[in-house]
């Protein structure tokens, strides 16, 4: 029996709805069961009823172990805008200094030499992508008391996997070049969302769709306008990393917007506001982006990004002057040895070789 797509969607929806109702019913049953009397109280009521007709009333209680273990209540975290909640401590912590320094250096490199170098730039973008994905995964799954050696772990693990991203992006350049465009789209989406207090898009589903759609769109456009998209990506990502690196040292509060987007952990809830210092940072990003874009566009004029394949054409010896004389000045070129991909010597007398007179 063949199912159409509509029937399959109906079956899947029914299955998901059934599971949701079962979970909801289970939670209701747990609440009801918590209010029911235990076996101890039932036995006590029976004995009291049996002795109610006599002059003396005896009450017998028996200790029975509870069937449900008592769980310690989880702490309720109220969203905060304190430096401890946003930056992990007061003042510039060692973690803030390390992360801020790395972002400033990488941002400056992308703004100045991003388009000029090929493998190094791909490695930088791979490092940023893998390190960011690792940090997001660790932050969202972090327990209340943190990881073991939390201050070192939260930096060392993203840094290590970022190095893995360097290798992958540098080797598989024909694929990673489009992922670089996606990184530019993701950075642009982050900047747009943080332009308003409590984020521009408040609904979580709509915000996630926006964060996915814009990188896909920029990556698709890279296929048609590679040069301009990559110039935009290197300039904008570099500007954004540079400003966020300064934010780790200046503590203006802009990082709260980034954490509100990427960190959904219930223990890391922060409030994102836009005071004057944050407005300065938001306005500073497009200014240095335009400067970087203009610089790289002029500095790399006529330059292509990526592996450029150039066909090797051997020049024939110059024949100067007319007449049937000579060519004695023309030097004979020595045949080169066969290398990888070299077809070797060509016999012009073979039928599939065409020569021009």
Q: Would you say residue 88 lies in a domain?
A: yes
Domain count, the chain: 1
Tell me the whole-structure pTM to 2 decimals: 0.67
So what's the pLDDT on residue 310?
A: 52
Mean pLDDT across the chain, nearest whole number?
Answer: 76
Q: Which domain holds residue 269?
A: 83-299
Residue 101 lies in a domain: yes
Average pLDDT rounded to a whole number, residues 175-204: 93
Average pLDDT over residues 85-105: 90
Examine residue 135 and state whether it is found in any structural domain, yes or no.
yes
Would you say residue 317 lies in a domain? no
Q: What is the DSSP string of 116-144?
A: T-SHHHHHHHHHHHHHHHHHHHHHHT--T
pLDDT in tens, 292-312: 999 999 988 877 776 555 555
User: Percent of the chain at pLDDT above 90?
Assistant: 45
Cα 54 to Cα 133: distance, rounded to the nearest angstrom: 75
Residue 156 has pLDDT above 70, yes or no: yes
CA distance 149 to 270: 23
Tens of pLDDT, residue by residue over 43-89, are 444 445 455 554 554 545 555 555 555 555 556 567 767 778 888 88
Q: Look at residue 123 and tell me whether its pLDDT is greater than 90.
A: yes
Q: What is the DSSP letter of 253?
A: S
In a domain, 198, yes or no: yes
pLDDT at 26: 37
Q: Is residue 353 part of a domain?
A: no
pLDDT of residue 352: 45
- Residue 329's alpha-carbon distances to 116, 323, 357, in angstroms, are 42, 14, 21
Position 322 pLDDT exceeds 50: no
The residue-averaged pLDDT of 141-149 equals 86
DSSP string across 68-135: SPPPPPPPPPPPB-SHHHHHSSSS--HHHHHHHHHHHHHHHHHHHHTTT-SHHHHHHHHHHHHHHHHH
Q: Is 80 exceeded by the pLDDT of residue 137?
A: yes
C-alpha closest to that of 215 among 241, 259, 177, 178: 178
Specify if 122 maps to a domain. Answer: yes
d(CA 265, CA 141): 7
Q: Is 282 part of any domain?
A: yes
Q: What six digits make up the tokens of 28? A: 């209701």
Say what the alpha-carbon torsion angle 111, 201, 247, 131 is, to the nearest 10 degrees. -70
Among the residue ranges 23-27, 179-183, 240-244, 300-304, the one predicted with the least confidence is: 23-27
Q: Assign 150 a pLDDT band (cuts: 50, 70, 90).
A: confident
């Amino acid at each position: 029996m063949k199912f159409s797509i509509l029937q399959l969607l109906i079956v899947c929806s029914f299955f998901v709805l059934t599971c949701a109702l079962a979970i909801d019913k289970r939670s209701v049953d747990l609440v009801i069961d918590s209010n029911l009397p235990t076996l101890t109280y039932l036995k006590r009521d029976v004995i009291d009823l049996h002795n109610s007709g006599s002059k003396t009333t005896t009450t017998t209680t028996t200790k029975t172990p509870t069937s449900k273990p008592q769980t310690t209540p989880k702490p309720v975290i109220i969203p905060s805008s304190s430096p401890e909640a946003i930056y992990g401590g007061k003042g510039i912590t060692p973690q803030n200094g390390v992360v801020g320094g790395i972002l400033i250096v990488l941002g400056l490199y992308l703004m100045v030499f991003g388009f000029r170098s090929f493998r190094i730039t791909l490695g930088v973008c791979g490092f940023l992508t893998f390190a960011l994905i690792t940090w997001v995964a660790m932050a969202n799954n972090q327990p209340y008391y943190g990881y073991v050696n939390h201050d070192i772990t939260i930096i060392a693990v993203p840094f290590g996997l970022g190095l893995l991203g360097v290798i992958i992006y540098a080797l598989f350049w024909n694929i990673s070049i489009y992922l670089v465009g996606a990184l530019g789209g993701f950075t642009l989406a982050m900047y747009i969302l943080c332009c308003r207090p409590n984020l521009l898009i408040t609904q979580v589903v709509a915000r996630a769709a926006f964060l996915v759609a814009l990188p896909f769109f920029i990556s698709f456009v890279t296929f048609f306008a590679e040069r301009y998209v990559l110039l935009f990506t290197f300039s904008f990502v570099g500007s954004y990393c540079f400003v966020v690196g300064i934010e780790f040292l200046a503590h203006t509060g802009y990082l709260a917007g980034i954490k509100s987007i990427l960190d959904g952990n219930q223990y890391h809830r922060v409030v994102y506001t836009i005071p004057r210092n944050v407005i300065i940072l938001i306005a500073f990003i497009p200014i240095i982006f335009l400067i970087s874009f203009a610089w790289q566009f002029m500095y790399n004029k006529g330059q292509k990004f990526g592996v450029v394949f150039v066909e090797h054409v051997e020049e024939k010896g110059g024949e100067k002057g007319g007449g049937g004389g000579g060519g004695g000045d023309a030097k004979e070129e020595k045949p080169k040895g066969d290398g990888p991909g070299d077809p070797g010597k060509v016999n012009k007398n073979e039928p599939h070789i065409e020569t021009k007179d």
